[in-house]
């Protein structure tokens, strides 16, 4: 398979940026978070997995609307209604799989990408060797409860009250509010604040992010308020790795429940890892990921 960057033309006429790294007969397709983020924290996955003794081709792409791919005019209501949906992004994964010629592959998704992994495993699981859900719960309610608990533990009571007042008043641009968001991000989302994926200009596709998430990681006002597949994940048949940071926004209690509910699932947690624990504690994260793939390949996978 061609290495490096390939621009894929979707059947709808839009173009997606894709990139393949690594060699071997195994394939890992990566779904970024956000929604509206980019592929960039996957750029070293082929190298890191090779260091763990795995020869694997790692395929990354930026979802429609994200920085490296085409960005539709979402201000047009018809365009937004067509493309800013769960169904669109799920079917986009399947189309990318076909365009890249993948079958019997591993699918990993971080955060929002982890939601897409769950949906994909439920509908298209017969194409998967394994599913990796990285830092994503199966419902939004437990997430919201957890992040509210976090900020009440971390911030003084007057700060929490101030944030809640800003949220009621839709005053998310308030400087003091954003300072608190930055503080929480540094503790639970991007703990290492890596320079490698920092930019002179913002790369978040805010129309996509706002439509699904809202203004920030700590308040959900968009379509993710609907997210709940708790009653469905029991039907995921593929071997599944659930990997969470031990110091992140997603509730570990939900991860434990998911691992018990999905028939063939294993939970691993990363010490000192936040929401992006592949960066915060890479040696542990990649050992867990490589061990999972090796166990599936050898036929020795169990919980």
Kindly report, residue by residue over 42-80, the tens digit of the pLDDT: 999 999 999 999 999 999 999 999 999 999 999 999 999
The answer to whether 26 and 54 have CB atoms below 8 angstroms apart is yes
For residue 27, the tally of other CB atoms under 10 A from its CB is 22
Helices 157-168 and 175-188 cross at an angle (nearest 10°) of 120
Read off the pLDDT of residues 162-184 as tens digits, 9 standing for 90 and up.
Answer: 999 998 888 988 999 988 888 88
With pLDDT > 90 as the criterion, what percentage of the chain qualifies? 76
Sheet-wide strand order for 15-21: 4-9, 15-21, 56-61, 26-31, 105-110, 128-134, 240-245, 265-270
Q: What are phi and psi of 194, to 5 degrees?
A: -70, 135
DSSP letter string, 83-135 = HSSHHHHHHHHHHHHHHHT--SEEEEEETHHHHHHHHHHHHHGGGEEEEEEES
Which 3 state secondary structure label does DSSP give 193? coil
The answer to whether 271 and 246 have CB atoms below 8 angstroms apart is yes
pTM: 0.93
243 pLDDT higher than 80:
yes
CA atoms of 16 and 13, how far apart (whole Å): 10
Average pLDDT over all residues of the chain: 93
Read off the pLDDT of residues 13-53 as tens digits, 9 standing for 90 and up.
Answer: 999 999 999 999 999 999 999 899 999 999 999 999 999 99
The answer to whether 123 and 86 have CB atoms below 8 angstroms apart is no
Convert 230-239 to b/e letters by CB count within 10 Å (16 or more is b).
beebeebebb
pLDDT on residue 154 = 87
HSE-CB of 208 using CA atoms within 13 angstroms: 27
CA 84, 88, 90 angle in degrees (round to 5)?
125
């Amino acid at each position: 398979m061609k290495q490096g960057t390939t621009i894929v033309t979707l059947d709808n006429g839009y173009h997606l940026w894709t990139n393949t790294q690594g060699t071997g007969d195994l394939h890992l397709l990566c779904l970024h978070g956000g929604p509206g983020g980019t592929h960039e924290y996957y750029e070293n996955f082929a190298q890191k997995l090779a260091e763990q003794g795995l020869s694997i081709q790692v395929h990354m792409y930026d979802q429609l609307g994200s920085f490296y791919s085409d960005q539709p005019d979402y201000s047009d209501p018809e365009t937004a209604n067509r493309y800013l949906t769960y169904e669109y992004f799920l079917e986009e994964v399947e189309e990318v799989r076909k365009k890249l010629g993948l079958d019997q592959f591993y699918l990993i998704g971080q955060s929002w990408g982890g939601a897409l992994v769950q949906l994909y495993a439920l509908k298209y699981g017969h194409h998967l060797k394994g599913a990796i859900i990285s830092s994503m719960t199966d419902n939004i309610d437990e997430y919201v409860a957890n992040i509210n608990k976090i900020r009440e533990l971390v911030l003084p009571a007057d700060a929490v009250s101030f944030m809640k007042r800003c949220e009621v008043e839709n005053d998310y641009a308030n400087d003091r509010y954003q300072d608190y968001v930055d503080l929480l991000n540094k503790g639970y989302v991007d703990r290492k604040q890596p320079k490698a994926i920092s930019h002179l200009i913002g790369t978040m596709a805010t129309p996509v992010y706002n439509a699904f998430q809202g203004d920030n990681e700590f308040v959900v006002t968009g379509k993710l308020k609907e997210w709940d597949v708790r009653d469905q994940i029991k039907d995921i048949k593929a071997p599944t790795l659930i990997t969470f940071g031990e110091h992140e926004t997603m509730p570990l209690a939900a991860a434990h429940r998911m691992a018990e509910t999905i028939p063939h699932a294993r939970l691993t947690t990363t010490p000192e890892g936040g929401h992006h624990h592949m960066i915060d504690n890479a040696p542990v994260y990649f050992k867990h990921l490589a061990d999972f793939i090796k166990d599936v390949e050898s036929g020795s996978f169990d919980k």
